Amino acid sequence: MTVLYRIVNRYNPADREAGLMQTAQTVYGQERSFNELCTEIASKSTISHIDVEAVLQAFITTVVMEVTNSRSVCFGDLGSLFLTMRSEQVFEPELFNRSKIRKVRYSFRPGAAVRRLLREPVFELVSDKRADAGDTGDGEENDENEE
pLDDT tens string 72-113: 999 999 999 999 989 988 898 888 988 888 888 889 999 998
Kindly give the pairing relationship between strand 20-26 and strand 73-74: unpaired
The reply to whether the predicted model has a pTM over 0.75 is no
pLDDT band at residue 142 under the 50/70/90 scheme: very low
* Cβ contact 28:136 at 8 Å: yes
- Is 62 within 8 Å of 81 (Cβ atoms)? no
Confidence tier at 133 by pLDDT (50, 70, 90) = low
SS3 114: helix
Question: pLDDT band for position 121 (50/70/90)?
Answer: confident
Q: How far is the C-alpha of 133 from the C-alpha of 29, rounded, in Å?
A: 8
